Structure 1
Amino acid sequence: MDSPFIAAGLPVALAVTMLGLGLGLTTADFRRVVAYPRTVMIALGCQTVLLPALCFVLVVALELPPASAVGMMLLAASPGGTTANLYSHLFGGHVALNVTLTAVNSILAIVTLPIVVNLSAAYFTDDAAGLGLQFGKVLQIFAIVLIPVAIGMAVRARSPRFAGRLDRPVRVLSVAVLAAATAGAVLAERDNLAAYFAAVGVAVVIFNVASIAIGYGVPRLVGADRPASIAVGMEIGIHNSTLAITIAISPTLLGNTEMAVPAAVYGIVAIFTAVAFGVLAGRRRADEAPALQRRA
């Protein structure tokens, strides 16, 4: 994972992606929390408490090596990515709710992610002080996540029309940069891919499927409609692996390439599980429509 494609490309991709998120946000998106209080609170509770706890049990049960265990916990603490918004749109999710959750999650992660990583480093490693995220490193995460978002929101506030024209090109650019960085990393690491999957593949697949199931199932259990549940399932199930990899490999943050392996494998696995979940959820929604019409 020492590839220059990862070291240089992923931070750029992350910055462009967060800028694109900011271009699509307004203060109304944060006020929307009031419109969906129960669903938002459930989603945030799953993201910040339930999933890290589940991941901890999983990595202990599977007896992962210390660096891999911390990498899994870093992934669990990472917020949903903007890719979740795209999948939600494609498969009938509540996109406005997705945007709200992504925005709020990204801000909460500034606090929750360092806490989870520090506790994990203290538990799994003998070098907690060296591997943890100290205050100065937290500020760097703050800069990585929020500064591009703030710039995008400022542009949107000052010139909505200009931001609207930028939105699609920036989204395309972020996908292109991320795809190029990922492709370059895969090519550079092709000899190690089998070893990476062997090391953490089982843990990643279980955690990914469980994340999607929790994100969709818990809102449904408390009465949320299907579009809202799909939105939460995508948000909870598609973690921002780019952010996790960037934090893991950056020399000024964790500086540990082994910790980036779970997020790298997750980024590949989540593509297929998200599509499978979207197809299944969309099919069930279509099956319900005739029944609802007959009742009407």
Structure 2
Amino acid sequence: MFTLGIGLTTADFTQIIREPKAFGVGILNQMIILPIVAFIIVSFFGLKEEMAVGMMILACCPGGVTSNMITKLAKGDTALSISYTAVMSITTVITLPFITGFSIAHFMGADAPPMNILSLGITMCLITALPVGLGLLLNIKYKRFSESFEPKASKISTVLFMVIVVGALASEWDAFIANVGTLGPSIIILILTMLFIGYNSAQWFKMSSKRAVTIA
């Protein structure tokens, strides 16, 4: 998240004003449509309580640097993607605790562990909004340094991300193999559904293919 902040400028946030339609459709899809679709899929497949909550949390997390990289590779509007990531990284501090609390209560019922939404919100702030804000501040105050450091930081964060994913997969390999047959189809359907909704919602508002790819 700190690396993401280093790559941001205040201009990334003004994209909201410059392109309100493109920004609004993308944020609506991420903040509202995605959790609803995830909830429907989870309920339809009848996933185990822990998996259902995990899917809902996954659906509410911001895209991060990875989504910006994929947008660039897909020849989408990278600046618009960065704006989505910047705003979602901050708003998630508010939305994720409430959706997580709802998901735990709904899917786990009486077995739900006690959860303090305020505490979770503070934790989210410390691991998302604060690092992004510090990175943005560094970029504003020491632009020359941040411009030279950002490519290196991005590479380091990408490697660390891959190490974390591989490590988590290795440590939970038995659980992964046992549940991939159930969880895999749900995740694939969620991805394909949101790609379809994202692209076609942009087309419905007569946006360019480049922006439709970004929103998808």
Match of 1:122 among 105, 117, 129: 105
Is 2:125 the partner of 1:148? Answer: no
Q: 1:161 to 1:128 in 2, by over 3 A?
A: farther
After superposition, residues 1-296 of structure 1 pair within 5 angstroms as: 18-127=1-110, 130=113, 132-233=115-216
What stretches of structure 2 of length at least 5 have no aligned partner?
Answer: none
CA offset at residue 128 of structure 1? 7.4
CA distance in 2: counterparts of 1:65 and 1:174, whole angstroms: 32
CA distance in 2: counterparts of 1:217 and 1:161, whole angstroms: 40
Q: Deviations over 1:29-50 (max 9, x none)?
A: 1111111101111111111111
SS at match of 2:206: coil
CA offset at residue 127 of structure 1? 4.3
CA offset at residue 61 of structure 1? 1.0
CA distance in 2: counterparts of 1:55 and 1:24, whole angstroms: 30
CA distance in 2: counterparts of 1:163 and 1:98, whole angstroms: 20
Q: 1:217 to 1:132 in 2, by over 3 A?
A: farther
TM-score norm. by structure 1 comes to 0.69
Identical-pair percentage? 29
SS at match of 2:109: coil
Q: Deviations over 1:5-43 (max 9, x none)?
A: xxxxxxxxxxxxx11110111112111111110111111
CA offset at residue 129 of structure 1? 6.3
CA offset at residue 119 of structure 1? 1.4
Aligned residues between the structures: 216
What stretches of structure 1 of length at least 5 have no aligned partner?
Answer: 1-17, 234-296
Q: 1:127 to 1:31 in 2, by over 3 A?
A: farther
CA offset at residue 110 of structure 1? 1.1
SS at match of 2:174: coil
CA distance in 2: counterparts of 1:155 and 1:162, whole angstroms: 9
RMSD: 1.5
Partners of 2:5 and 2:132 within 8 A in 1:
yes
Q: 1:185 to 1:121 in 2, by over 3 A?
A: closer
TM-score norm. by structure 2 comes to 0.94
CA offset at residue 115 of structure 1? 1.6
Which amino acid in structure 2 is aligned with residue 80 of structure 1?
Answer: G
